[in-house]
Structure 1
Protein backbone atom coordinates (compact mmCIF):
# COMPACT_ATOMS: atom_id res chain seq x y z
CA UNK A 1 0.00 0.00 0.00
CA UNK A 2 1.35 3.43 -0.90
CA UNK A 3 2.07 6.01 1.82
CA UNK A 4 -0.85 8.29 2.73
CA UNK A 5 -3.32 6.28 0.67
CA UNK A 6 -5.75 6.54 3.61
CA UNK A 7 -4.99 10.08 4.83
CA UNK A 8 -8.21 10.61 6.82
CA UNK A 9 -8.59 7.19 8.45
CA UNK A 10 -8.70 7.63 12.24
CA UNK A 11 -9.86 4.22 13.48
CA UNK A 12 -8.92 0.85 12.03
CA UNK A 13 -10.15 -2.55 13.19
CA UNK A 14 -9.01 -5.74 11.48
CA UNK A 15 -10.18 -9.25 12.39
CA UNK A 16 -8.58 -12.53 11.41
CA UNK A 17 -11.22 -15.22 11.66
CA UNK A 18 -10.96 -18.86 10.78
CA UNK A 19 -11.69 -20.40 8.27
CA UNK A 20 -11.81 -17.23 6.16
CA UNK A 21 -8.27 -16.20 7.03
CA UNK A 22 -5.28 -17.93 5.49
CA UNK A 23 -2.93 -18.96 8.31
CA UNK A 24 -0.01 -18.50 5.91
CA UNK A 25 -0.64 -14.73 5.84
CA UNK A 26 2.19 -12.80 7.47
CA UNK A 27 0.59 -10.42 9.98
CA UNK A 28 3.58 -8.07 9.78
CA UNK A 29 2.32 -6.96 6.35
CA UNK A 30 -0.37 -4.97 8.20
CA UNK A 31 2.34 -2.35 8.67
CA UNK A 32 1.42 -1.09 5.21
CA UNK A 33 -2.04 -0.09 6.52
CA UNK A 34 -0.47 1.77 9.43
CA UNK A 35 2.03 3.53 7.18
CA UNK A 36 -0.73 4.51 4.74
CA UNK A 37 -2.82 6.10 7.51
CA UNK A 38 -1.01 9.16 8.91
CA UNK A 39 -4.11 10.34 10.85
CA UNK A 40 -4.74 6.93 12.46
CA UNK A 41 -5.48 7.30 16.18
CA UNK A 42 -6.81 3.87 17.14
CA UNK A 43 -5.83 0.42 15.86
CA UNK A 44 -7.56 -2.80 16.94
CA UNK A 45 -6.40 -6.19 15.72
CA UNK A 46 -8.54 -9.19 16.61
CA UNK A 47 -7.03 -12.62 16.01
CA UNK A 48 -9.33 -15.59 16.53
CA UNK A 49 -7.81 -18.67 18.14
CA UNK A 50 -6.35 -21.04 15.53
CA UNK A 51 -6.47 -18.34 12.84
CA UNK A 52 -2.67 -18.10 12.81
CA UNK A 53 0.22 -20.47 12.50
CA UNK A 54 2.01 -20.27 15.82
CA UNK A 55 5.53 -20.15 14.47
CA UNK A 56 7.63 -20.10 17.62
CA UNK A 57 9.53 -17.05 18.73
CA UNK A 58 13.08 -18.14 19.42
CA UNK A 59 16.39 -16.45 19.89
CA UNK A 60 17.56 -13.22 21.43
CA UNK A 61 15.02 -10.44 21.73
CA UNK A 62 17.30 -8.12 19.74
CA UNK A 63 16.64 -10.39 16.77
CA UNK A 64 13.16 -8.92 16.53
CA UNK A 65 14.25 -5.51 15.38
CA UNK A 66 12.85 -5.40 11.87
CA UNK A 67 14.52 -3.82 8.92
CA UNK A 68 14.64 -0.03 9.09
CA UNK A 69 11.27 0.81 7.59
CA UNK A 70 10.63 4.46 6.88
CA UNK A 71 7.07 4.63 8.17
CA UNK A 72 6.38 6.48 11.40
CA UNK A 73 3.00 7.20 12.87
CA UNK A 74 2.72 10.36 14.91
CA UNK A 75 -1.05 10.17 15.50
CA UNK A 76 -1.60 6.62 16.77
CA UNK A 77 -2.57 6.79 20.44
CA UNK A 78 -4.31 3.50 21.26
CA UNK A 79 -3.57 -0.06 20.18
CA UNK A 80 -5.44 -3.21 21.21
CA UNK A 81 -4.44 -6.65 20.02
CA UNK A 82 -7.01 -9.25 21.06
CA UNK A 83 -5.89 -12.84 20.65
CA UNK A 84 -2.21 -11.97 21.01
CA UNK A 85 -0.21 -15.18 20.82
CA UNK A 86 3.41 -16.28 20.59
CA UNK A 87 3.44 -16.20 16.76
CA UNK A 88 6.63 -14.61 15.47
CA UNK A 89 4.90 -12.34 12.93
CA UNK A 90 2.59 -10.94 15.63
CA UNK A 91 5.58 -10.19 17.87
CA UNK A 92 7.29 -8.45 14.95
CA UNK A 93 4.21 -6.32 14.25
CA UNK A 94 3.93 -5.38 17.93
CA UNK A 95 7.60 -4.39 18.16
CA UNK A 96 7.32 -2.36 14.96
CA UNK A 97 4.33 -0.41 16.30
CA UNK A 98 6.10 0.30 19.59
CA UNK A 99 9.31 1.45 17.92
CA UNK A 100 7.66 3.58 15.21
CA UNK A 101 4.90 5.34 17.13
CA UNK A 102 5.88 8.35 19.22
CA UNK A 103 2.35 9.46 20.13
CA UNK A 104 1.30 6.15 21.70
CA UNK A 105 -0.58 6.47 25.01
CA UNK A 106 -2.05 3.00 25.56
CA UNK A 107 -1.09 -0.45 24.30
CA UNK A 108 -3.10 -3.52 25.36
CA UNK A 109 -2.36 -7.14 24.54
CA UNK A 110 -5.36 -9.35 25.29
CA UNK A 111 -4.05 -12.90 25.36
CA UNK A 112 -7.44 -14.54 25.84
CA UNK A 113 -9.20 -13.60 22.62
CA UNK A 114 -11.38 -11.07 24.41
CA UNK A 115 -13.57 -13.39 26.45
CA UNK A 116 -11.71 -14.24 29.60
CA UNK A 117 -10.28 -11.83 32.14
CA UNK A 118 -11.95 -8.86 30.47
CA UNK A 119 -15.37 -10.43 30.95
CA UNK A 120 -14.63 -11.08 34.60
CA UNK A 121 -14.09 -7.37 35.11
CA UNK A 122 -16.74 -5.95 32.78
CA UNK A 123 -19.65 -8.28 32.08
CA UNK A 124 -20.43 -11.96 32.36
CA UNK A 125 -21.53 -14.15 29.50
CA UNK A 126 -24.97 -15.67 30.09
CA UNK A 127 -23.71 -19.11 29.13
CA UNK A 128 -21.04 -19.24 31.84
CA UNK A 129 -21.61 -22.15 34.22
CA UNK A 130 -21.81 -19.88 37.26
CA UNK A 131 -22.43 -16.18 37.69
CA UNK A 132 -19.09 -14.41 37.84
CA UNK A 133 -17.20 -17.17 36.06
CA UNK A 134 -15.39 -16.64 32.75
CA UNK A 135 -15.85 -18.86 29.76
CA UNK A 136 -13.35 -21.64 30.11
CA UNK A 137 -10.24 -21.90 27.99
CA UNK A 138 -9.29 -25.26 26.53
CA UNK A 139 -6.13 -26.87 27.85
CA UNK A 140 -4.39 -25.99 24.57
CA UNK A 141 -5.75 -22.43 24.73
CA UNK A 142 -4.54 -22.01 28.30
CA UNK A 143 -1.07 -23.36 27.40
CA UNK A 144 -0.85 -20.88 24.49
CA UNK A 145 -2.06 -18.08 26.76
CA UNK A 146 0.81 -18.77 29.17
CA UNK A 147 3.30 -18.89 26.26
CA UNK A 148 1.91 -15.58 25.00
CA UNK A 149 2.34 -13.94 28.42
CA UNK A 150 5.96 -15.17 28.53
CA UNK A 151 6.51 -13.90 24.98
CA UNK A 152 5.11 -10.47 25.88
CA UNK A 153 7.35 -10.32 28.95
CA UNK A 154 10.48 -11.33 27.06
CA UNK A 155 10.16 -9.62 23.68
CA UNK A 156 7.80 -6.69 24.16
CA UNK A 157 7.63 -5.34 27.72
CA UNK A 158 11.18 -3.95 27.66
CA UNK A 159 10.46 -2.01 24.47
CA UNK A 160 7.46 -0.14 25.83
CA UNK A 161 8.28 3.54 26.44
CA UNK A 162 7.67 4.69 30.01
CA UNK A 163 5.06 7.18 28.78
CA UNK A 164 2.87 4.36 27.40
CA UNK A 165 0.27 2.62 29.55
CA UNK A 166 0.99 -1.05 28.76
CA UNK A 167 -1.26 -3.89 29.82
CA UNK A 168 -1.22 -7.62 29.18
CA UNK A 169 -4.56 -9.30 29.85
CA UNK A 170 -3.79 -12.93 30.58
CA UNK A 171 -5.97 -15.77 31.82
CA UNK A 172 -8.23 -14.76 34.69
CA UNK A 173 -6.50 -15.80 37.92
CA UNK A 174 -9.85 -16.28 39.66
CA UNK A 175 -11.27 -18.70 37.08
CA UNK A 176 -8.13 -20.47 35.81
CA UNK A 177 -6.03 -20.91 38.93
CA UNK A 178 -4.14 -24.20 38.84
CA UNK A 179 -5.55 -25.24 35.46
Structure 2
Protein backbone atom coordinates (compact mmCIF):
# COMPACT_ATOMS: atom_id res chain seq x y z
CA UNK A 1 0.00 0.00 0.00
CA UNK A 2 2.83 2.41 -0.74
CA UNK A 3 0.58 4.85 -2.64
CA UNK A 4 -2.37 4.78 -0.24
CA UNK A 5 -3.09 8.31 1.05
CA UNK A 6 -6.50 7.96 2.76
CA UNK A 7 -8.07 5.09 4.71
CA UNK A 8 -11.51 4.80 6.31
CA UNK A 9 -12.45 1.73 8.36
CA UNK A 10 -16.11 1.44 9.36
CA UNK A 11 -17.20 -1.47 11.57
CA UNK A 12 -14.10 -3.44 10.58
CA UNK A 13 -13.01 -6.38 12.75
CA UNK A 14 -9.35 -5.51 13.16
CA UNK A 15 -7.08 -5.55 16.19
CA UNK A 16 -4.81 -2.72 17.20
CA UNK A 17 -1.56 -4.52 16.42
CA UNK A 18 -2.92 -5.60 13.01
CA UNK A 19 -3.79 -2.00 12.18
CA UNK A 20 -0.37 -0.80 13.35
CA UNK A 21 1.33 -3.31 11.05
CA UNK A 22 -0.85 -2.15 8.14
CA UNK A 23 -0.05 1.52 8.83
CA UNK A 24 3.67 0.77 9.02
CA UNK A 25 3.47 -0.45 5.44
CA UNK A 26 1.53 2.59 4.15
CA UNK A 27 4.21 5.34 4.13
CA UNK A 28 2.19 7.76 1.96
CA UNK A 29 -0.87 7.77 4.25
CA UNK A 30 -2.22 11.25 5.06
CA UNK A 31 -5.62 10.54 6.64
CA UNK A 32 -7.15 7.79 8.81
CA UNK A 33 -10.82 7.56 9.84
CA UNK A 34 -11.91 4.89 12.33
CA UNK A 35 -15.63 4.45 12.90
CA UNK A 36 -17.17 1.78 15.16
CA UNK A 37 -14.10 -0.49 15.10
CA UNK A 38 -14.89 -2.12 18.42
CA UNK A 39 -11.98 -4.56 18.63
CA UNK A 40 -9.29 -1.87 18.76
CA UNK A 41 -8.15 -1.24 22.33
CA UNK A 42 -4.83 0.47 21.63
CA UNK A 43 -4.29 2.63 18.52
CA UNK A 44 -0.71 3.48 17.59
CA UNK A 45 0.33 5.74 14.72
CA UNK A 46 3.98 4.98 13.84
CA UNK A 47 6.63 7.67 13.41
CA UNK A 48 7.51 6.68 9.84
CA UNK A 49 4.24 8.22 8.54
CA UNK A 50 5.88 11.53 7.69
CA UNK A 51 2.94 12.72 5.54
CA UNK A 52 0.24 11.77 8.03
CA UNK A 53 -1.91 14.82 8.82
CA UNK A 54 -5.43 13.85 9.91
CA UNK A 55 -6.76 11.32 12.44
CA UNK A 56 -10.49 10.97 13.21
CA UNK A 57 -11.84 8.41 15.68
CA UNK A 58 -15.54 7.93 16.36
CA UNK A 59 -17.74 5.31 18.08
CA UNK A 60 -14.79 3.05 18.99
CA UNK A 61 -16.16 2.18 22.41
CA UNK A 62 -13.45 -0.28 23.49
CA UNK A 63 -10.59 2.06 22.67
CA UNK A 64 -8.48 2.92 25.73
CA UNK A 65 -5.22 4.33 24.32
CA UNK A 66 -4.37 6.55 21.35
CA UNK A 67 -0.68 7.11 20.75
CA UNK A 68 0.59 9.07 17.77
CA UNK A 69 4.24 9.60 16.87
CA UNK A 70 3.46 11.24 13.52
CA UNK A 71 5.35 14.53 13.51
CA UNK A 72 3.13 16.39 11.05
CA UNK A 73 -0.27 15.58 12.51
CA UNK A 74 -2.36 18.74 12.04
CA UNK A 75 -5.93 17.52 12.68
CA UNK A 76 -7.14 15.26 15.49
CA UNK A 77 -10.84 14.56 16.08
CA UNK A 78 -12.08 12.28 18.85
CA UNK A 79 -15.84 12.04 19.22
CA UNK A 80 -18.54 9.73 20.56
CA UNK A 81 -16.16 7.39 22.31
CA UNK A 82 -15.31 6.19 25.81
CA UNK A 83 -14.59 8.76 28.49
CA UNK A 84 -11.72 6.76 30.00
CA UNK A 85 -9.19 7.10 27.20
CA UNK A 86 -5.53 8.11 27.31
CA UNK A 87 -4.36 10.31 24.43
CA UNK A 88 -0.73 10.97 23.59
CA UNK A 89 -0.12 12.98 20.42
CA UNK A 90 3.64 13.40 20.59
CA UNK A 91 4.85 16.52 18.80
CA UNK A 92 1.88 18.85 18.32
CA UNK A 93 3.48 22.04 17.00
CA UNK A 94 1.76 21.55 13.61
CA UNK A 95 -1.71 20.99 15.10
CA UNK A 96 -4.36 23.25 13.51
CA UNK A 97 -7.61 21.42 14.23
CA UNK A 98 -8.30 19.74 17.58
CA UNK A 99 -11.64 18.28 18.66
CA UNK A 100 -12.00 16.45 21.97
CA UNK A 101 -15.56 17.06 23.13
CA UNK A 102 -16.03 14.04 25.37
CA UNK A 103 -13.00 14.52 27.56
CA UNK A 104 -12.23 13.95 31.21
CA UNK A 105 -12.59 16.33 34.12
CA UNK A 106 -10.94 19.76 34.11
CA UNK A 107 -10.05 19.48 30.42
CA UNK A 108 -11.31 22.99 29.64
CA UNK A 109 -8.97 24.43 32.27
CA UNK A 110 -6.14 22.24 30.91
CA UNK A 111 -6.83 23.41 27.35
CA UNK A 112 -6.65 27.07 28.36
CA UNK A 113 -3.46 26.60 30.37
CA UNK A 114 -1.48 24.21 28.15
CA UNK A 115 -2.64 24.34 24.54
CA UNK A 116 -1.43 27.86 23.62
CA UNK A 117 2.18 26.70 24.06
CA UNK A 118 1.75 23.03 23.07
CA UNK A 119 -0.30 23.79 19.93
CA UNK A 120 0.60 27.37 18.94
CA UNK A 121 -0.84 27.05 15.40
CA UNK A 122 -4.37 26.01 16.41
CA UNK A 123 -7.06 27.48 14.15
CA UNK A 124 -10.08 25.37 15.19
CA UNK A 125 -10.69 24.09 18.72
CA UNK A 126 -13.63 22.00 19.98
CA UNK A 127 -13.45 20.90 23.60
CA UNK A 128 -15.73 19.56 26.29
CA UNK A 129 -15.46 18.36 29.86
CA UNK A 130 -17.43 16.07 32.13
CA UNK A 131 -16.59 18.11 35.23
CA UNK A 132 -14.61 21.23 36.10
CA UNK A 133 -13.52 21.67 39.71
CA UNK A 134 -12.20 25.19 39.13
CA UNK A 135 -13.20 28.08 36.91
CA UNK A 136 -11.21 28.79 33.76
CA UNK A 137 -8.18 30.92 34.76
CA UNK A 138 -7.16 34.22 33.24
CA UNK A 139 -3.67 33.71 31.81
CA UNK A 140 -1.30 35.79 29.64
CA UNK A 141 -0.79 33.04 27.01
CA UNK A 142 -2.54 33.50 23.66
CA UNK A 143 -4.12 31.44 20.87
CA UNK A 144 -2.75 33.75 18.20
CA UNK A 145 -4.26 31.94 15.18
CA UNK A 146 -7.48 30.51 16.67
CA UNK A 147 -10.47 31.41 14.48
CA UNK A 148 -13.20 28.93 15.46
CA UNK A 149 -13.99 27.84 19.01
CA UNK A 150 -16.56 25.36 20.32
CA UNK A 151 -16.91 24.58 24.03
CA UNK A 152 -19.26 22.10 25.76
CA UNK A 153 -18.75 22.84 29.45
CA UNK A 154 -20.34 21.35 32.55
CA UNK A 155 -22.56 23.45 34.80
CA UNK A 156 -20.08 25.89 36.32
CA UNK A 157 -19.00 29.54 36.16
CA UNK A 158 -19.56 30.31 32.47
CA UNK A 159 -18.37 33.89 33.00
CA UNK A 160 -14.82 32.56 33.41
CA UNK A 161 -14.86 31.49 29.74
CA UNK A 162 -14.07 35.06 28.76
CA UNK A 163 -10.50 33.88 29.31
CA UNK A 164 -10.71 32.11 25.93
CA UNK A 165 -12.04 35.23 24.21
CA UNK A 166 -9.34 37.46 25.68
CA UNK A 167 -6.70 34.91 24.64
CA UNK A 168 -7.91 34.66 21.03
CA UNK A 169 -7.38 37.93 19.13
CA UNK A 170 -8.23 36.28 15.78
CA UNK A 171 -11.42 34.49 16.92
CA UNK A 172 -14.29 34.76 14.43
CA UNK A 173 -16.90 32.23 15.56
CA UNK A 174 -17.75 30.86 19.00
CA UNK A 175 -20.21 28.07 19.78
CA UNK A 176 -21.08 27.39 23.43
CA UNK A 177 -23.18 24.25 24.00
CA UNK A 178 -24.72 23.89 27.49
CA UNK A 179 -27.71 21.78 26.46
CA UNK A 180 -26.84 18.73 28.53
CA UNK A 181 -27.29 20.81 31.68
CA UNK A 182 -30.12 23.12 30.71
CA UNK A 183 -32.03 19.99 29.67
CA UNK A 184 -31.98 18.67 33.23
CA UNK A 185 -32.69 21.45 35.75
CA UNK A 186 -31.70 19.08 38.59
CA UNK A 187 -28.05 19.37 37.48
CA UNK A 188 -27.99 23.17 37.58
CA UNK A 189 -25.63 24.13 40.39
CA UNK A 190 -25.25 27.87 39.95
CA UNK A 191 -27.35 30.87 40.79
CA UNK A 192 -30.18 31.83 38.48
CA UNK A 193 -30.34 35.44 37.35
CA UNK A 194 -33.79 35.66 38.94
CA UNK A 195 -32.62 34.58 42.40
CA UNK A 196 -30.92 36.93 44.83
CA UNK A 197 -28.93 39.87 43.48
CA UNK A 198 -29.32 40.74 39.79
CA UNK A 199 -26.11 42.82 39.84
CA UNK A 200 -23.87 41.55 37.02
CA UNK A 201 -20.13 41.13 37.43
CA UNK A 202 -17.94 43.45 35.42
CA UNK A 203 -14.49 43.02 33.86
CA UNK A 204 -12.13 45.68 32.47
CA UNK A 205 -13.08 46.51 28.90
CA UNK A 206 -11.26 44.55 26.22
CA UNK A 207 -12.02 45.41 22.60
CA UNK A 208 -12.29 42.35 20.35
CA UNK A 209 -12.25 43.25 16.68
CA UNK A 210 -12.64 39.87 14.96
CA UNK A 211 -15.52 37.97 16.59
CA UNK A 212 -18.40 37.89 14.09
CA UNK A 213 -20.71 35.15 15.35
CA UNK A 214 -21.65 33.81 18.80
CA UNK A 215 -24.13 30.99 19.44
CA UNK A 216 -25.24 29.51 22.75
CA UNK A 217 -27.19 26.25 22.56
CA UNK A 218 -29.37 25.42 25.55
CA UNK A 219 -29.33 28.99 26.90
CA UNK A 220 -30.93 29.12 30.33
CA UNK A 221 -31.20 31.49 33.28
CA UNK A 222 -27.81 30.84 34.89
CA UNK A 223 -26.51 34.21 36.06
CA UNK A 224 -22.96 33.52 34.85
CA UNK A 225 -24.32 32.73 31.37
CA UNK A 226 -26.10 36.08 31.24
CA UNK A 227 -22.94 37.81 32.45
CA UNK A 228 -20.86 36.17 29.72
CA UNK A 229 -23.36 37.19 27.02
CA UNK A 230 -23.46 40.79 28.22
CA UNK A 231 -19.66 40.93 28.28
CA UNK A 232 -19.50 39.79 24.66
CA UNK A 233 -22.10 42.33 23.56
CA UNK A 234 -20.15 45.10 25.26
CA UNK A 235 -16.67 44.19 24.10
CA UNK A 236 -16.97 42.36 20.76
CA UNK A 237 -17.27 45.42 18.53
CA UNK A 238 -17.25 43.35 15.33
CA UNK A 239 -20.12 41.06 16.36
CA UNK A 240 -22.72 40.57 13.62
CA UNK A 241 -24.80 37.58 14.77
CA UNK A 242 -25.85 36.43 18.25
CA UNK A 243 -28.01 33.31 18.52
CA UNK A 244 -29.42 32.22 21.88
CA UNK A 245 -31.26 28.90 21.64
CA UNK A 246 -33.30 27.96 24.73
CA UNK A 247 -34.44 24.64 23.26
CA UNK A 248 -32.78 21.22 23.38
CA UNK A 249 -32.84 20.79 19.64
CA UNK A 250 -34.05 22.27 16.41
CA UNK A 251 -37.78 23.06 16.77
CA UNK A 252 -39.84 21.63 13.93
CA UNK A 253 -42.98 23.72 14.24
CA UNK A 254 -41.58 26.13 11.67
CA UNK A 255 -41.83 23.42 8.99
CA UNK A 256 -44.79 21.36 10.25
CA UNK A 257 -48.35 22.25 11.30
CA UNK A 258 -48.52 23.70 14.84
CA UNK A 259 -48.48 20.95 17.43
CA UNK A 260 -47.27 18.29 15.00
CA UNK A 261 -43.51 18.62 15.20
CA UNK A 262 -42.31 19.49 18.72
CA UNK A 263 -40.91 16.82 20.99
CA UNK A 264 -42.59 16.24 24.33
CA UNK A 265 -40.08 17.64 26.80
CA UNK A 266 -40.27 17.36 30.57
CA UNK A 267 -42.29 20.19 32.14
CA UNK A 268 -39.38 21.33 34.34
CA UNK A 269 -37.14 21.61 31.30
CA UNK A 270 -39.70 23.68 29.40
CA UNK A 271 -40.13 25.96 32.41
CA UNK A 272 -36.35 26.50 32.59
CA UNK A 273 -36.33 27.25 28.86
CA UNK A 274 -39.05 29.83 29.50
CA UNK A 275 -36.89 31.43 32.23
CA UNK A 276 -34.00 31.51 29.77
CA UNK A 277 -36.16 33.36 27.25
CA UNK A 278 -37.25 35.80 29.97
CA UNK A 279 -33.61 36.41 30.89
CA UNK A 280 -32.90 37.30 27.25
CA UNK A 281 -35.73 39.82 27.17
CA UNK A 282 -34.90 41.29 30.60
CA UNK A 283 -31.11 41.51 30.67
CA UNK A 284 -29.76 41.05 27.14
CA UNK A 285 -32.12 42.34 24.48
CA UNK A 286 -31.68 46.04 25.26
CA UNK A 287 -27.87 45.68 25.12
CA UNK A 288 -27.84 44.47 21.51
CA UNK A 289 -26.54 47.09 19.10
CA UNK A 290 -28.43 47.81 15.84
CA UNK A 291 -25.53 46.27 13.91
CA UNK A 292 -26.03 42.89 15.64
CA UNK A 293 -28.70 40.41 14.59
CA UNK A 294 -30.15 38.76 17.70
CA UNK A 295 -31.91 35.42 17.18
CA UNK A 296 -33.67 34.05 20.27
CA UNK A 297 -35.06 30.54 19.75
CA UNK A 298 -37.89 29.38 22.01
CA UNK A 299 -40.29 26.45 22.19
CA UNK A 300 -43.56 27.19 20.46
CA UNK A 301 -46.35 27.92 22.91
CA UNK A 302 -48.92 25.88 21.02
CA UNK A 303 -46.98 22.67 21.66
CA UNK A 304 -45.73 23.74 25.09
CA UNK A 305 -48.34 26.01 26.71
CA UNK A 306 -46.91 25.71 30.24
TM-score range, shorter chain: 0.7 to 0.9
CA contact (8 A) 2:159 2:228 kept: yes
For 1:163 and 1:3, the matched residues in 2 are separated by 31
Please list, as runs of the form range in 1=range in 2, the aligned pairs for 1:88-107 lying within 5 A after superposition.
Answer: 88-107=223-242
Relative to the length of structure 2, the TM-score reads 0.48
Q: How many residues align?
A: 161
For 1:97 and 1:175, the matched residues in 2 are separated by 33
For 1:7 and 1:142, the matched residues in 2 are separated by 40
CA contact (8 A) 1:4 1:38 kept: no
CA contact (8 A) 1:54 1:86 kept: no
For 1:145 and 1:161, the matched residues in 2 are separated by 24
For 1:132 and 1:3, the matched residues in 2 are separated by 51
User: Aligned-pair RMSD on alpha carbons?
Assistant: 2.3
Residue of structure 1 equivalent to 2:266: 138
CA contact (8 A) 2:158 2:228 kept: yes
Residue of structure 2 equivalent to 1:127: none
2:300 to 165, 172, 175: 172
Residue of structure 1 equivalent to 2:150: 13
Residue of structure 1 equivalent to 2:291: 163
Structure 1 residue 43 corresponds to structure 2 residue 174: yes
Structure 1 residue 27 corresponds to structure 2 residue 163: no
For 2:294 and 2:197, the matched residues in 1 are separated by 22
Structure 1 alignment gaps of length 5 or more? 125-130
Structure 2 alignment gaps of length 5 or more? 1-137
Report SS of the residue matched to 2:150. strand
CA shift in 2, pair 1:8/1:52, >3 Å: farther
Please list, as runs of the form range in 1=range in 2, the aligned pairs for 1:72-151 lying within 5 A after superposition.
Answer: 72-113=207-248, 115-117=249-251, 119-121=252-254, 133-151=261-279
For 1:77 and 1:4, the matched residues in 2 are separated by 22
Structure 1 residue 53 corresponds to structure 2 residue 53: no
CA contact (8 A) 2:247 2:298 kept: yes
For 1:73 and 1:159, the matched residues in 2 are separated by 17
CA contact (8 A) 2:157 2:190 kept: no
Report SS of the residue matched to 1:45. strand
For 1:70 and 1:174, the matched residues in 2 are separated by 42
Q: Which moved more, 1:83-92 or 1:68-77?
A: 68-77
- The structure having more radius of gyration, on CA atoms, is 2
